[in-house]
Amino acid sequence: VKPAFVLFALAAVLSARGVTPRENIAALKELLAIPSVSTNIAETDRAVLWMRDYLTARGVWCVVETSSVDGRKVLYAATKPGLKNPDYTLVTHLDVVAGKPEQFEPFEKDGRLYARGACDTKGNAFGAALTLVRLNGKGSVGCLFSANEEIGGSSTKHLVDLGYGVPGKAVIVLDASDMPLNIGIACKGCSYYRVTAVGKAGHSSSPWKCENPIYILAEAALKIRDRYPHQKPGEYGNSAAVTIIGGGDAQNKIPGTAEMTVNVRFTDKEDGIERNRKLIEEITGLKTETIRGTYAAVSDPSAPEIRRVQALRRERYPEFPNNLVKGNGANDSRYFGQFGKPMMSSAMRHSGGHADEEWLEIADLEHFVDYLTDVCQCVEASAR
């Protein structure tokens, strides 16, 4: 066998998954090197502007808006100038969780690219950018590049409130923290409540003259444990947890009030935040206020778009089960439930989100963009 033939055969195998061009890897490394930790607005701004410049240089229409919440920049880009309501809305993010300084020095090893954000989720965001470049002027695709997904995604909400990314056919969330074995089609609503117990303060040497709010609160916490309709194993339902509890400011004084935070994860489609507030208030008998919350986004697994994407995914990633799964956590699809379109997650081959060893598979980047291009062009699995 001639060496040239061996090389040719090897190239053929690699190209079955697409060969990721070196300039794409170099560009992604630049993006990964920006320490855009969610709380560091100067750096998330830098990542947003890097992405805008990358896309603008390739002719993709971009808008940078300033969040009304904290003044950070956030990016929307689309395959046609002014396209605010595309057929396919991609949702991803450019912020990352904190990492060791060396995690912002990307390096390659054994076909993997290691860096903070390689998995969660700049690798996926860069895949979205390459898809926009490929479909520029042809497809109907828009992408929201959130700048603070890891701390609630208010910048995503800001873009949605301004009317960017209203989906015509489906929402594809490009985000993951681990190898994407399955397709997420639901995220739960997430709400936080402040529950306050009011007693009667006094000196702790004579507790009989007081009414201790800490005891009232402790009993309320146990009522939540025992009476909140918890989800059973295997069921996709609501759950509640007391997460912070506090009260008192002196060692020898019974305080007048005590309060706790309750976190509820729910699947209720509408009014879930208020419904669960009332439920907590009913169960505890105590004043319950909403601190903040986001709604559930649960898609119908039989929606044709979801079936089509699942079939495409199975064709492109046959090594994974690619089942339709419902997640217990929240992601930025939380802001799109209001549009009533199918929503699903997608991601490239990678792992280690939020961990010290975070990486993506270099050869999969181009392959992932091929898959994403098919998704956004309405390609059916069998027609490829």
The residues of the shown chain that bind Zn ion, judged by CB under 5 A, are 120-121, 175
CB nearer to Zn ion: pick between 151 and 303:
151
CB nearer to Zn ion: pick between 92 and 310:
92
CB nearer to Zn ion: pick between 121 and 155:
121
CB of 383 to Zn ion, least distance (A): 32
What is the edge-to-edge ordering of all strands in the sheet holding 107-109?
107-109, 112-114, 359-361, 350-351
CB of 24 to Zn ion, least distance (A): 21
Q: What span, in angstroms and rounded, lies between the C-alpha atoms of 317 and 368?
A: 9
CA angle 235–238–240, rounded 5-degree value: 130
Dihedrals phi, psi of 258, to nearest 5 degrees = -145, 150
| 20: DSSP letter | P
| Tokens of residue 64, six digits | 């940078």
CB of 93 to Zn ion, least distance (A): 6
Q: What span, in angstroms and rounded, lies between the C-alpha atoms of 12 and 240?
A: 53
CB nearer to Zn ion: pick between 345 and 373:
345
First to last CA, the chain: 33
Nearest-CA neighbor of 345 among 158, 152, 128, 163? 128
The set of residues, in sequence order, having a beta carbon less than 8 Å from that of 383 and lying 6+ positions away, is none
CB of 378 to Zn ion, least distance (A): 26
Instruction: Confirm if 370 and 21 have CB atoms less than 8 A apart.
Output: no
Q: What span, in angstroms and rounded, lies between the C-alpha atoms of 176 and 352?
A: 9
| Tokens of residue 226, six digits | 């025992």
Strand partners, 343: 171
CB nearer to Zn ion: pick between 153 and 342:
153
CB of 176 to Zn ion, least distance (A): 7
CB of 186 to Zn ion, least distance (A): 16
CB nearer to Zn ion: pick between 67 and 333:
333
CB of 69 to Zn ion, least distance (A): 19
CB of 165 to Zn ion, least distance (A): 17
CB nearer to Zn ion: pick between 128 and 283:
128
What count of residues does the chain have? Answer: 384
| Tokens of residue 241, six digits | 């947890």
CB nearer to Zn ion: pick between 272 and 353:
353
Q: How far is CA 133 from the centre of its chain?
A: 23
